C-alpha cells in the first residue's frame, strides 16, 4: 500500500489531486519518444478511477506525468497486488520489489527536477525470465542454468528501462521456453487466474497470467511457436508477435549464438490488458540496439490501404477438429470488424498445412542438431514427452533436405505476401479447441502432436513466415477466454493492431470480469 510520507511531495497526493482539480491526465500519444516536463498546473490533475493496479499503462503513465499520483504510490500498489495474488498463481518467480521501489523513488525525483519523462515513466512491468537482466541469473526455467548470470540487460529490457518502466518481477517460463505449458522443476507450475484447471499457456505463461491478474501493466514475453499469442488467448489479454527484426534481441550471457532460423522465427513482444498498451509497449521495445544484426529500422505506421480494408477470414482446413465455440468467436470477431468498416470474406489462406510443416521441420531439426543432447541431460520427463511429440511430427532432414526446407520458407513467405496485397489482414484462430489442462502436453507425445498440429496450427505456422500477429480477446465460453488472431504483412503491425482495436472497441476487455471473480 502507499506510504503516507509519499503524499507530502510538492506535486500533491492522488487524494489531494482529486479534491483540488477536475483536469484530466495528459495523454500519452507516442511511445518511446521523450516527453516535456509536467507543469505545476498539471500536477493537480485527477487520477483514473478504480484501484491503481487496474489502470492501463497509458493511464498510469499519464497520471504519474501529470502529478496526479507518484510512481512510488503506483509501484507500491502493484507490489501489494503481487504479494496478495501471486502466491496463488506462481506467475512471478523473482520478486524485484526492493529495487523497484528504489527506481520509483528515482522516477519521482526526476519528475520533481522537471526532467524529460519517457513514455512509460514510473510504470510497473514484468520481464520473462529467459532474457538477460543485468546481475540476475538467466536460467530459462532450468535449475542447471542458475549459474548463468547476465552481464548486461537484453535490448528489450534496456529499451523498456530507457522509457522509464520499472520492473517489479521476472515471470515464469517452461524449461528452455520450449513448451506451450508453463511448468518446470525450478519454479513449479503457473496457474491460469481464470481457472486452475486450464493452462495459462506458454512459454510466456507467467507473463500472461501476471498481467491478466493485475501484476504489472505490461508483461514482456517472446514467441518462436506461439509463446506470446497462446498465453494471450489463455489469459484473456492482448498481444502482438512483431515482425522478425522489429524488436532487437540479444543475450550476452548465451554461450553461443542462436542458429539463423531460430533467430528469424523468434520475436520479443508485449502482453497487456488493452490493445492501446500493446501498441505503446511495442514502440518502446522496438528502439534500435546495435547488438542485434537483424534489427530493421522500419516505420511503425505504414500507408493506409484503400478502404474498405479487406479482411480474409481464414477457412479452416477440413482435417481440423474445431469446437463450435471457436467458430462462433471467429464469426463474432468478423461481425465486429464488419461493423467497424472492414470488409470480411471467408477464404482459404495460402497452404497453412505446408507452412506449419516447414516450421516444425526447421525448428525440430535445428534443435536436434544443436541443442537436444544438452537439453535432455538437464530436463524433466515432462519436457522429454513434450519434445518427443514435436520431434515426431517433423521430417528428419539431411543437408539437402535442410536446404530445401529453408528454400520452401521463402516460397511460403512470398505466397503470403502476395495474398496480403489483396487482403491486408487475416482473421484466424489462435486455437480451435477449448483451452486444455495445465500439463496436457506431458500426457504423451501423441497428445503433444495433436495439440500443435490440430489445435495450434494457425499460431506456430506464422512464426516461420516472420509475419506480425496480434491476439485480442473476444468472448468467454463457460468462463474461459477465447481470443482471435489478426495477421498482417511484414512490418505492418499497425494494421493488425488497428483490427484488434476495432474488435476490442465492440467486444470490450475481459479482465474486469476476472477481477470480479477473484475478489
Q: Which three cell numbers stand for residue 198?
A: 486450464
The rounded distance, in Å, linking the Cα atoms of 479 and 234 is 11
- From CA 218, how far away is CA 220, in angstroms rounded? 7
The residues annotated with a catalytic role in the active site are: 128, 203, 227
CA separation (Å) from 111 to 1, 67, 107, 134, 334?
21, 9, 6, 25, 44
- How many whole angstroms separate alpha carbon 466 and alpha carbon 220? 19
Give the DSSP H/E element, type plus range, for residue 470: strand 469-477
Q: Is the peptide bond before 8 cis (omega within 30 degrees of 0)?
A: no
Give the torsion through C-alpha atoms of 348, 352, 353, 358, to 10 deg.
160
Quote the cell numbers at residue 406: 529453408
Handedness of CA 281, 287, 291, 295 (dihedral sign): positive
**Is residue 71 within 8 Å of 2, Cβ to Cβ?**
no
152 three-state secondary structure: coil
- C-alpha distances out from residue 103 to 1, 118, 121, 368, 462, Å: 17, 14, 10, 42, 38
At 502, which helix (H) or strand (E)?
helix 493-507
Calculate ∠ Cα 288-289-292, nearest 5°: 115
Task: Give the C-alpha separation, 379 to 141, whole Å.
Answer: 9
Counting every residue, how long is the chain? 519
DSSP string, 414-449: HHHHHHHHH-SEEEEES-SS----TTGGGS-HHHHH
Query: Can you spell out the DSSP letters for 175-242?
Result: GGG-SSS---TTT-PPPPSS-TTS---SSSHHHHHHHHHTSSSEEEEEESSSTTHHHHHHHT-EEEEP
Q: Exposed (0-12), middle (13-18) or buried (19+): which is 151, by Cβ within 10 Å?
A: exposed
Rounded CA-CA distance 416/203 in Å is 26
> Rounded to whole angstroms, how far apart are CA atoms 222 and 250?
12
Amino acid at each position: 500500500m502507499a506510504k503516507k510520507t509519499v503524499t507530502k511531495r510538492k506535486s500533491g497526493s492522488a487524494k489531494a489531486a482529486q479534491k483540488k482539480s477536475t483536469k484530466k491526465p495528459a495523454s500519452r500519444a507516442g511511445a518511446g519518444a521523450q516527453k516535456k516536463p509536467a507543469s505545476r498546473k498539471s500536477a493537480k490533475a485527477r487520477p483514473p478511477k478504480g484501484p491503481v493496479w487496474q489502470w492501463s499503462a497509458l493511464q498510469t503513465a499519464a497520471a504519474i506525468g501529470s502529478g496526479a499520483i507518484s510512481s512510488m504510490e503506483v509501484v507500491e500498489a502493484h507490489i501489494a497486488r503481487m504479494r496478495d495474488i501471486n502466491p496463488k498463481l506462481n506467475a512471478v518467480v523473482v520478486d524485484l520489489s526492493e529495487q523497484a521501489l528504489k527506481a520509483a523513488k528515482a522516477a519521482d525525483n526526476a519528475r520533481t527536477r522537471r526532467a524529460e519523462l519517457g513514455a512509460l515513466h514510473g510504470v510497473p512491468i514484468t520481464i520473462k525470465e529467459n532474457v538477460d537482466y543485468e546481475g540476475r541469473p538467466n536460467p530459462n526455467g532450468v535449475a542447471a542454468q542458475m549459474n548463468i548470470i547476465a552481464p548486461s540487460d537484453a535490448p528489450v529490457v534496456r529499451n523498456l528501462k530507457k522509457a522509464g518502466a520499472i520492473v517489479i518481477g521476472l515471470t515464469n517460463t517452461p524449461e528452455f521456453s520450449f513448451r506451450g505449458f508453463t511448468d518446470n522443476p525450478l519454479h513449479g507450475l503457473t496457474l491460469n487466474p481464470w481457472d486452475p484447471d486450464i493452462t495459462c499457456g506458454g512459454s510466456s505463461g507467467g507473463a500472461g497470467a501476471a498481467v491478466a491478474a493485475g501484476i504489472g501493466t505490461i508483461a514482456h514475453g517472446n514467441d518462436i511457436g506461439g509463446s506470446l499469442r497462446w498465453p494471450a488467448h489463455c489469459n484473456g489479454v492482448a498481444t502482438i508477435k512483431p515482425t522478425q527484426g522489429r524488436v532487437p534481441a540479444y543475450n550476452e550471457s548465451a554461450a553461443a549464438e542462436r542458429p539463423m532460423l531460430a533467430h528469424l522465427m523468434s520475436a520479443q513482444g508485449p502482453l497487456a490488458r488493452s490493445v492501446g498498451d500493446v501498441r505503446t509497449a511495442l514502440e518502446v521495445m522496438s528502439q534500435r540496439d546495435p547488438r542485434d544484426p537483424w534489427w530493421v529500422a522500419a516505420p511503425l505506421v505504414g500507408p493506409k490501404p484503400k478502404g474498405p480494408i479487406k479482411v480474409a477470414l481464414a477457412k479452416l482446413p477440413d482435417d481440423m477438429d474445431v469446437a463450435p465455440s471457436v467458430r462462433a468467436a471467429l464469426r463474432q470477431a468478423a461481425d465486429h470488424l464488419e461493423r467497424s468498416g472492414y470488409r470480411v470474406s471467408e477464404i482459404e489462406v495460402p497452404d497453412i498445412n505446408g507452412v506449419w510443416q516447414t516450421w516444425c521441420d526447421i525448428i525440430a531439426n535445428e534443435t536436434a542438431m544443436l541443442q537436444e543432447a544438452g537439453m535432455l541431460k538437464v530436463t524433466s520427463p515432462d519436457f522429454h514427452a513434450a519434445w518427443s511429440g514435436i520431434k515426431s511430427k517433423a521430417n528428419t532432414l539431411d543437408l539437402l533436405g535442410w536446404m530445401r526446407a529453408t528454400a520452401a520458407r521463402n516460397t511460403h513467405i512470398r505466397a503470403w505476401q502476395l495474398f496480403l496485397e489483396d487482403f491486408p489482414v487475416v482473421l484466424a484462430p489462435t486455437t480451435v479447441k477449448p483451452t486444455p489442462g495445465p500439463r496436457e502436453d506431458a500426457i504423451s507425445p501423441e497428445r503433444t502432436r495433436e495439440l500443435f498440429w490440430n489445435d495450434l496450427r494457425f499460431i506456430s505456422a506464422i512464426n516461420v513466415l516472420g509475419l506480425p500477429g496480434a491476439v485480442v480477446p473476444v468472448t468467454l465460453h463457460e468462463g474461459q477466454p477465447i481470443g482471435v488472431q489478426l495477421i498482417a504483412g511484414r512490418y505492418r503491425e499497425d494494421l493488425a493492431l488497428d483490427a484488434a482495436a476495432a474488435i476490442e472497441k465492440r467486444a470490450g476487455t475481459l479482465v474486469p470480469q476476472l477481477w470480479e471473480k477473484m475478489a
